[in-house]
């Protein structure tokens, strides 16, 4: 359950209770009134994180270009290790091993999620970028400035046909958008990838030990974006065209990860230069799957889990 709106929510992390068993190992029971024991942190992406993909002016559609933590490459391709998250639906077999990159997230690198009153007092528009850079004391050519410009630009892109998208700048706006999409009376679950606990090895071989498809007719994935405070880029399809999975993985070093993953069954509208096509050696229109980073949350109706 999400705790009540108000002062109790105004802290550097916002805690959501969660359940942890093998049948529901990634789910969070969510409503808007009260909380119980257990928690998961809603986190933002730190401004010092690199934006791994090129910031191209001709991008028409953000969901065709996944943020940093959603890209993958085989080591032989001499790409950034963080690109090791893509796979095909045929790879979802128990016993299958593959190299996967999971970033290690922690409180020291996490911007806080603002309350609406705070967020609404700060402009969130590319037209206000010069003011914002001065406000946050970032030099114009700094990585932080480029990250802010990237985030503002992506948030201002129009959704494609059949897509729902929204950039949440506060805790309340994140929750309100999810509830407006699914209905005010719908109980929600949040699926996540469990963060690494004992390992500093971000890229290693993992073996699939369990696969569970989530039957949600509608879903909303919210990715953190580079910004001085937590921004969630949320998007989903109005009809069910993707497949959502919960995957249990055993790492070579003994690390176990309960991962959320999605398979995009139709990529015909994606940018034909999307890195996933090159990584998987497939053509636009082919199925493309990827694991979610631990700082991504996926909202689904509770009945679907």
pLDDT of residue 56: 30
pLDDT of residue 217: 84
Residue 85: CB atoms within 10 Å: 27
pTM (two decimals):
0.72
155-184 b/e (C-beta count within 10 Å ≥ 16 → b) = beeebbeeeebbbbbbbbbbbbbbbebbee
Burial class (CB in 10 A: 0-12, 13-18, 19+), 89: middle
Tokens 């953190």, located at residue: 224
In tens digits, what is the pLDDT along the chain, a chain of 305 residues? 222 222 222 223 333 333 323 233 333 333 333 333 333 344 444 444 433 333 333 333 344 443 333 333 344 445 678 889 999 999 999 999 999 999 876 444 567 889 999 999 999 999 999 999 999 999 999 999 999 999 999 999 998 778 899 999 998 999 999 999 999 888 999 999 988 877 778 999 999 999 999 988 889 999 999 999 999 999 987 777 789 999 999 999 998 999 999 999 988 888 888 999 989 999 999 999 999 998 899 999 987 55
Domain boundaries, the chain: 7-304
Per DSSP bridges, beta strands 288-291 and 14-16 are unpaired
Q: Which residues pair with 250 in a beta bridge?
A: 207, 256
Tokens 């969901």, located at residue: 63
Task: Report the C-alpha gap between 108 and 254 in whole angstroms.
Answer: 25
Task: Report the C-alpha gap between 6 and 216 in whole angstroms.
Answer: 31
Enter the DSSP assignment of 209. E
**What's the token pair of residue 163?**
């897509």
pLDDT of residue 271: 86
Residue 127: CB atoms within 10 Å: 9
Task: Report the C-alpha gap between 104 and 197 in whole angstroms.
Answer: 8
Task: Report the C-alpha gap between 230 and 217 in whole angstroms.
Answer: 28
Q: Which residues pair with 99 in a beta bridge?
A: 205
Task: Report the C-alpha gap between 129 and 139 in whole angstroms.
Answer: 11
Q: Would you say the C-alpha torsion 257, 258, 260, 263 has a positive or negative sign? A: positive
Task: Report the C-alpha gap between 269 and 285 in whole angstroms.
Answer: 7
What counts of helices (H) and strands (E) characterise the chain? 5, 14
Contacts of 87 by beta carbon, 8 Å cutoff, 6+ apart: 72, 98, 261, 280, 289, 290, 291
Alpha helices of the chain — where are they, by DSSP H? Answer: 116-120, 129-136, 143-156, 171-182, 275-280
């Amino acid at each position: 359950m999400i705790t009540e709106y108000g002062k109790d929510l105004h802290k550097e992390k916002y805690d959501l209770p969660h359940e942890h068993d093998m049948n529901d190992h990634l789910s969070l029971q969510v409503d808007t009134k009260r909380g119980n024991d257990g928690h998961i942190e809603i986190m933002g992406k730190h401004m010092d994180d690199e934006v791994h993909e090129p910031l191209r002016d001709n991008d028409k559609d953000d969901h065709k270009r996944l943020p940093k933590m959603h890209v993958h490459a085989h080591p032989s391709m001499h790409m950034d290790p963080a690109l090791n998250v893509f796979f095909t639906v045929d790879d979802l077999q128990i016993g299958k091993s593959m190299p996967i990159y999971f970033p290690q997230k922690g409180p020291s690198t996490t911007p806080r999620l603002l309350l609406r009153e705070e967020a609404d007092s700060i402009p969130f528009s590319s037209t206000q970028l010069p003011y914002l850079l001065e406000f946050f004391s970032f030099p114009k050519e700094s990585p932080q400035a480029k990250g802010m410009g990237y985030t503002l630009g992506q948030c201002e892109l129009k959704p494609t046909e059949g897509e729902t998208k929204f950039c949440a700048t506060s805790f309340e706006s994140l929750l309100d958008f999810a509830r407006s999409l699914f209905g005010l009376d719908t109980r929600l679950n949040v699926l996540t990838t469990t963060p690494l606990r004992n390992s500093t090895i971000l890229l290693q071989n993992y073996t699939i030990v369990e696969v569970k498809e989530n039957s949600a007719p509608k879903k909303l994935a919210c990715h953190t974006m580079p910004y001085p405070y937590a921004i969630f880029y949320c998007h989903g399809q109005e009809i069910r065209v993707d497949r959502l999975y919960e995957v249990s993985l055993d790492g070579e070093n003994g690390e176990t990860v309960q991962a959320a993953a999605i398979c995009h069954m139709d990529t015909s509208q994606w940018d034909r230069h999307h890195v996933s096509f090159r990584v998987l050696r497939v053509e636009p229109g082919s199925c493309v799957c990827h694991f979610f980073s631990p700082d991504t949350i996926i909202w689904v109706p509770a009945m679907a889990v």
